[in-house]
Amino acid sequence: MTAARGGLLCPITMGLFLQSLFLLLLLLGSCLHPAAAFPKGCYPSEEEGLKTFRCSNAQLTEVPRDIPNDTNKLYLDFNQIPFLPRDAFRDLPLLLELDLSHNAITRIESGAFQGLAEHLHSLDLSSNRLVSVSKDAFSNLKAKVNLSDNPWLCDCRLQELIRAVELAADSSGGIVCDSSTQEEHVGKAFLQLIADTDFCNVYKKTTDIAMLVTMFGWFAMVISYLVYYVRQNQEDARRHLEYLKSLPSKQRRSEESSTISTVV
pLDDT averaged per 10 residues, the chain (length 264): 46 56 49 60 94 97 93 98 96 96 97 92 98 95 96 96 95 96 93 92 53 59 67 68 62 54 46
Distance of CA 234 to the CA centre of its chain: 60
| pLDDT score, position 247 | 60
pLDDT given for residue 55 in this prediction? 97
- Packing angle between helix 156-164 and helix 199-245, nearest 10 degrees? 150
Residue 83 and residue 62 in contact, taking contact as beta carbons nearer than 8 Å: no
**In the 8-state DSSP scheme, what is residue 58?**
S
Question: What is the distance between the alpha carbons of residues 255 and 244, in angstroms, rounded to a whole number?
Answer: 7
Cα 76 from Cα 74, distance rounded (Å):
6
Region for 127 from its dihedrals, namely left if φ exceeds 0, alpha if ψ lies in -120 to 50, beta otherwise: left
pLDDT of residue 32: 43
Q: What is the pTM of this model?
A: 0.65
Q: Check residue 241 and give its pLDDT.
A: 65
Q: How far apart are CA 160 and CA 136, in angstroms?
A: 10
